[in-house]
Chains A and B, each alone.
Chain A
Amino acid sequence: MAYQVTQSDLEAIALGGAFLGTGGGGDPYIGKLMARQAIAEHGPVTVIAADEVADDTLCVPVFMMGAPTVMLEKLPSGDEILKALAELETFLGKKAGALICVEAGGLNSTIPFMVAAATGLPLIDGDGMGRAFPELQMVTFTMHGIASSPMVVADDKGNSALMSTISNLWTERLARVVAVQMGGAALVAAFPMNGADMKKALLHGTMTTIRDIGNTILSERKASRHPGAALRAMTGGAHLFTGRVVDVQRATEGGFARGKLTLRGIDDFAGQEFLVHFQNEFLLAETATGAPICMTPDLICALDADMGLPVTTEQMRYGMTVEFSAIPADPQWHTPAGLELAGPKYFGYDHEFRPFTTGERA
């Protein structure tokens, strides 16, 4: 069912996006402000269900790619994404009929609302990840053979690049270099697909999911409850641990924010130590001895242990207390194709994928 998204819905959408961002994808705050400005100027966004889109409609994902730490500091000009979309349409000789969110977590969960408001195009209820992932090819679209190119990458300075590649992994390699050269962050229109393909490849309903997650966080906080338990009940998740950050190690390599958190368990987890590895997103949680307790593609979501708000990797500071939850990824991610794209091995972690299980750490 189609529905309208107004300025007042953006708070919940951004919160839900931050939660599914699994620590990465950038703080949706910037995207929320951009969407708010665009909705104030152009009116509300229409979100439509995938099956309301005709099979021959051109559907285009729009997103930002780059390092989240860059996006906190260097905001977009606002024109680059419209330019990227327009140039892609010109190349294809066809106008887009609907927009797609590529990534329901982080900044990219709110960016499409800004583009939808500015262009008047409807936004399809769904996305290609159901969370945030650090690389462009890590989408269900890839599993369904949908090519990321032709694509247009555009920057704040007015540069744009039209790319044609032989695979989505090549797109990632090339576009990443371009994005780094463009200043670490660029806006992208890619994966042009028709409505029929979109319906097969999309993770349906995730725009509504992030809004619902956001509303749950808001209502639990209002009721003076930490939202962790309600969110886990809602998503089939498990409580991994709660701990205090005792070390944050970071490095920006090739446009990614890589690093490792060391946490000392508190409350029920007192006396234990945990490590959380991230590459933009939290990808692997381990015990102090290196035994994995949750790994990608399953979601490792962080909430501030006190106030219950999602926290990103770049907000992690010495002394913070954080509650980590595990949420199962969409079953598509647990297939061999899904694990090849975004399993632990791909990220260089020497673990066979195992779904997280509750009670394992005891």
Chain B
Amino acid sequence: MYRLGIDVGGTNTDAVVMKGKDVLAGIKAPTSEDVTTGVVAAMNGAIAQAGIDRANVSNVMIGTTHFTNAVIERKHLTQVAAIRLGLPATACLPPAVDWPQDLKTVVGDHGYLVRGGYEFDGREISPLDEAELIRIAKDIQSKDLKAAAITCVFGPINAEMEQRAKAIIQEHCPGLPVVLSTDIGRIGLLERESATIMNASLLRLAAKTVDAFGDALRDAGINCPFYITQNDGTLMAAETVKNFPVLTFASGPTNSMRGAAFLTGVKEAIVVDIGGTTTDVGALQQGFPRQAATVVDVGGVRTNFRMPDVFSIGLGGGSLVREQNGAVAVGPQSVGYKIIQEAKVFGGQTLTTTDIAVASGKAQVGDPAKVADVDPALAKTAMDTITSMLENAVERARVSPELIPVIAVGGGSILMPDSLGDLTVIRPDNFAVANAVGAAIAQISGEVDRVFSLEKTTREECLVLAEQEATQNALAAGAVAETIQVIEREDVPLAYLPGNATRIHVKVVGEMGGSNE
């Protein structure tokens, strides 16, 4: 049986066919505006190159940076009503208070503070102000907002008020998608609220994207289950992604880093993944992406997901290069998947970083004659800017003076010089499709998140029990027993509940069955 890994980037869609640890074929195709065409082209290309029967594909794993790019580029986001239940507490810092202004403008800055919320011990701060929610529902309709995000103070210990608020809003705005913060994140109001608002603003794009993937696979005659990779490098059933696109935010970097480690066999390195629109820089430690210990910045917003510690900059092979008042600006805007029409080397009118690389003689793509008119001084300044952007990003990820290699992956890695400062650059075989390899080797997880009573037992026993249960879940989902390891383990005592209750969250991961065959 074969595994198909697909990575849909802003610019390219990559596909690999893997059998066990071997990459049988890897194909890169431009991401199409409808997503589907690019997926089908890459997938068919990879299947043909591998010369396999598509009926023998057992699993399809898709990684996509679509949703992250949407936030970074402030594109395809819908306007969201950000409703917080907690007044009179929390008034000093309204929703999205720490967001960059441009993102706030796109998502709409429709913050609503409502009386409600819980104290830490489960008491109400104030009773839920239902009349205010009805007024907000009317406002949502009159402003034609496309989704709502509801965040209740101490919602993670009691989801009831968020659920009640959702029912009221949907009663008055039939069909309006409403995202609850308790489904998205943990304690930490601003971070959980921000993630919830971003999730809500991405729902429309998520539904469209997942359906497009499903259709593409079916039309191509592939009927096995398909999964989408999430932040921690594990897989999520495709339908779930429609409701929780935000949980895929860092899956691109996770996949490319795991792919880079897999392809090079190098365990300590800095991985630079240059796509069409963004560059992600992260560190590999013992073959795994280094996890962010504290808060993670996504498009300038603080979140508290468990994610690889990756730093993104708006630089890719499709980034616009513009001259303004003698200065050269590179990115963050990108022609993205339209690079094959719009970049000059492909006959277009837009000057991109790829054109600069070709004009400088660093790369051979498209027709070099089409960039012969680019001012060499401009090309040099732009190339220097690109190199210094990459150097800064690598320096930021580097925390020791040790000379570890830089692994360059991704389609845009033609922008990468052969060395960066004092670090050497490695380009593995299949470097361009490392993301898709990472997706194909993504792990399956098993999770337990529920309240345990410590009345007749101990915390340690409950943790063991939860771990066993999570392991069973992972095995049932197809994980190989001997590869299972715990990646998350935490317990939050709920002091106000009778019976000394504690909420335990355990997550285990393992290799998907079939990967070692």
Contact = CB atoms under 8 A, between A and B. Distances in A.
A75 B309 CA distance: 27
A250 B292 CA distance: 22
Interface stretch (B197-205, B356-364, B482-490): B482-490
A320 B98 CA distance: 26
B89 A183 contact: yes
Contacts of A320: 291, 293
B486 A318 contact: yes
A319 B493 contact: no
A184 interface: yes
Contact of A311 (B88, B119, B294, B459): B294
A251 B309 CA distance: 29
Nearest to B293: A304
Contact of A73 (B93, B153, B290, B486): B153
A244 B170 CA distance: 46
Interface in A273-328: 304-309, 311, 315, 317-322
Contacts of B488: 317-319
Interface stretch (B26-34, B49-57, B394-402): B394-402
Contacts of B481: none
B501 to A, nearest CB: 12
A74 B153 contact: yes
Interface string B105-126: 0000000000001011101011
B93 A74 contact: no
A244 B398 CA distance: 20
B119 A77 contact: no
A77 B88 CA distance: 6
Contact of B294 (A37, A67, A304): A304
Given A34-B93, A78-B91, A224-B399, A73 B293 contact: no
Contacts of A158: 88
Contacts of B227: none
A308 B399 contact: yes
A157 B89 contact: yes
B389 to A, nearest CB: 16
A309 B121 CA distance: 31
Given A67-B120, A306-B290, A306-B293, A74 B86 contact: yes
Nearest to B394: A224
Given A184-B121, A306-B399, A77 B293 contact: no
Question: Which of B117, B153, B294, B395 has most A Cβ within 10 Å?
Answer: B294
Interface residues of A, number: 44
Interface string A250-269: 11110000000000000000
Interface in A222-240: 224-226
Contacts of B92: 34, 37, 75-78
Main secondary structure of the interface of B (DSSP, over half): loop
B187 interface: yes
A250 B491 contact: yes
Contacts of B292: 307
Given A74-B117, A309-B294, A156 B493 contact: no
A184 B123 CA distance: 11
Contacts of B153: 73-74
Given A306-B293, A308-B399, A315-B293, A75 B93 contact: yes
B188 interface: yes
Contact of B293 (A30, A79, A321): A321
A156 B395 contact: no
Nearest to A32: B98
Which of B188, B190, B293, B401: most chain A Cβ within 10 A?
B293
A320 B93 CA distance: 29
Contact of B91 (A67, A77, A184, A307): A77
B247 interface: no
A157 B119 CA distance: 11
Interface string A32-75: 01100100000000000000000000000000000101101111
B188 A72 contact: yes
Contacts of B88: 77, 156-158
Given A77-B90, A226-B399, A306-B399, A250 B492 contact: yes
Contacts of B396: 224
B293 A184 contact: no
B458 to A, nearest CB: 11
Find the residue from B88, B92, B283, B400 having the highest chain A CB count within 10 A.
B92
A249 interface: yes
Contacts of B91: 77-79, 156
Given A37-B93, A318-B488, A224 B493 contact: no
Contacts of A252: 120, 493, 495
Contact of B89 (A156, A305, A309, A318): A156
A147 to B, nearest CB: 30
Contact of B395 (A34, A224, A305): A224
A76 B187 CA distance: 16
B189 A75 contact: yes
B237 interface: no
A248 interface: yes
A49 to B, nearest CB: 29
Nearest to B494: A252
Given A75-B90, A224-B395, A306-B309, A319 B187 contact: no
A317 B490 contact: yes
B405 to A, nearest CB: 16
Contacts of B309: 306-307
A319 B120 contact: no
**Residue among B153, B283, B486 with max Cβ neighbours from chain A (10 Å):** B153
A248 B459 CA distance: 11
Contact of B291 (A33, A74, A319): A319
B154 interface: yes
B188 A183 contact: no
A69 B187 contact: yes
A319 B487 contact: yes
A74 B90 contact: yes
B125 A157 contact: yes
Nearest 7 interchain pairs by C-beta: A78-B92, A156-B89, A183-B119, A304-B293, A75-B90, A184-B120, A77-B91
Given A74-B117, A77-B88, A183-B120, 13 more contacts: A33-B190, A37-B97, A72-B188, A74-B153, A74-B189, A156-B91, A158-B88, A183-B119, A225-B401, A304-B294, A307-B399, A317-B488, A317-B490
16 contacts: A34-B92, A75-B89, A76-B90, A77-B90, A78-B93, A156-B88, A156-B91, A183-B120, A184-B121, A225-B399, A249-B459, A306-B290, A307-B309, A311-B293, A319-B291, A320-B291
Interface of A: 29-30, 33-34, 37, 67, 69-70, 72-79, 156-158, 183-184, 224-226, 248-253, 304-309, 311, 315, 317-322
